[in-house]
């Protein structure tokens, strides 16, 4: 069982990190032998997406030196992903958004059928708005949300209250269970079908040569087999 944790906080030992670290420990207790990769995005010198569409064409980003392509491939081979970002200015952190722009997971539907968890920490307001944005990012990439938590906490104070620890432990157990039953929930199936057939396919097949990387990803994920391309109907 392979799980990836992404920390989008620029503060390496901040509240988001502490929550995600406790999540990791809870998973390790819940399922011995679990293989967890934990990435602090601040450790990577992430370049901004320049909109060149090389990933659409080839499935690879033009920037290969900053390590983001490796995370892309690790996510592809994971059973589940846990995303964490602090709430900054009523949204995800800039670091998290830059990562999301670079990881080219939406068009590829890289999270297809993957159970995901979203976590944000905030101090005052808009934590749920951030969570909504994170959940939408997951759904738009084909994944489904097993659960999510917005943790309200005073800046620089330890967020690991007993109440929060219980919430995290429960969610860790729920995630393990979802990985084990390995069943794509109906709501996510329908969402992906609509996203692919109504929005993504017509756009991608309009210019096949420019979107071969996306088409290859769909084939690998067995998205295309079930739903033929619009021009072949």
Ligand X SMILES: Cc1cc2nc3c(=O)[nH]c(=O)nc-3n(C[C@H](O)[C@H](O)[C@H](O)COP(=O)(O)O)c2cc1C
Q: How far is the CB of 42 from ligand X (least distance, A)?
A: 10
Please, which residue, 88 or 112, has the CB nearer to ligand X?
88
Please, which residue, 79 or 87, has the CB nearer to ligand X?
87
Q: What would the two tokens of residue 87 be?
A: 């709430």
From CA 123, how far away is CA 144, in angstroms rounded? 27
Distances (CA, A) of 113 to 56, 168, 176, 193, 217: 21, 22, 15, 12, 14
Q: How far is the CB of 130 from ligand X (least distance, A)?
A: 8
Closest residue to ligand X using C-beta atoms? 14
147 sits in which H/E element? strand 144-152
Please, which residue, 41 or 221, has the CB nearer to ligand X?
41
The total number of residues written for the chain in this structure: 233
What is the DSSP code string of 44-92?
S-PPPP----HHHHHSS-S--SSSHHHHHHHHHT-SEEEEEEE-BTTB-
Q: How far is the CB of 153 from ligand X (least distance, A)?
A: 5
Q: How far is the CB of 109 from ligand X (least distance, A)?
A: 29
Please, which residue, 2 or 135, has the CB nearer to ligand X?
135
Asked if residue 191 lies in contact with residue 140, where contact means CB atoms within 8 angstroms, the answer is no
- Interface residues with ligand X (CB under 6 A) are 9, 11, 14-17, 86-90, 121-127, 153, 155
Please, which residue, 15 or 188, has the CB nearer to ligand X?
15
Q: How far is the CB of 72 from ligand X (least distance, A)?
A: 23
Q: How far is the CB of 6 from ligand X (least distance, A)?
A: 13
List helix spans (H) across the chain.
15-30, 54-58, 68-76, 94-102, 127-140, 162-181, 186-194, 201-205, 212-220
The closest alpha carbon to 29, from 169, 174, 146, 163, belongs to: 169
Please, which residue, 9 or 145, has the CB nearer to ligand X?
9
């Amino acid at each position: 069982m392979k799980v990836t944790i992404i920390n989008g906080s620029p503060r390496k030992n901040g509240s988001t990190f502490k929550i995600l670290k406790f999540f990791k420990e809870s998973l390790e207790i819940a399922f011995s032998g679990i293989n967890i990769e934990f990435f602090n995005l601040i450790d990577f010198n992430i370049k901004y997406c320049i909109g060149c569409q090389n990933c659409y064409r080839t499935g690879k980003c033009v920037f290969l030196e900053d390590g983001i392509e490796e995370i892309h491939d690790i996510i592809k081979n994971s059973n589940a992903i846990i995303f964490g970002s602090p709430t900054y200015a009523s949204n995800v952190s800039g670091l998290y958004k830059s990562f999301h722009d670079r990881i080219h997971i939406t068009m590829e539907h890289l999270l297809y059928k993957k159970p995901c968890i979203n976590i944000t920490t905030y101090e005052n307001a808009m934590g749920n708005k951030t969570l909504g944005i994170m959940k939408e990012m997951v759904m738009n990439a084909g994944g489904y949300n097993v659960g999510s938590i917005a943790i309200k906490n005073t800046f620089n104070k330890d967020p690991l209250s007993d109440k929060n620890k219980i919430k995290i432990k429960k969610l860790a157990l729920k995630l393990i269970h979802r990985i084990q039953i390995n069943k794509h929930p109906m709501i996510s199936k329908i969402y992906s079908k609509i996203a692919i057939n109504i929005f993504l396919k017509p756009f991608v097949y309009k210019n096949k040569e420019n979107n071969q990387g996306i088409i290859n990803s769909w084939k690998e994920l067995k998205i295309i087999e079930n739903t033929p391309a619009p021009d072949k109907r």
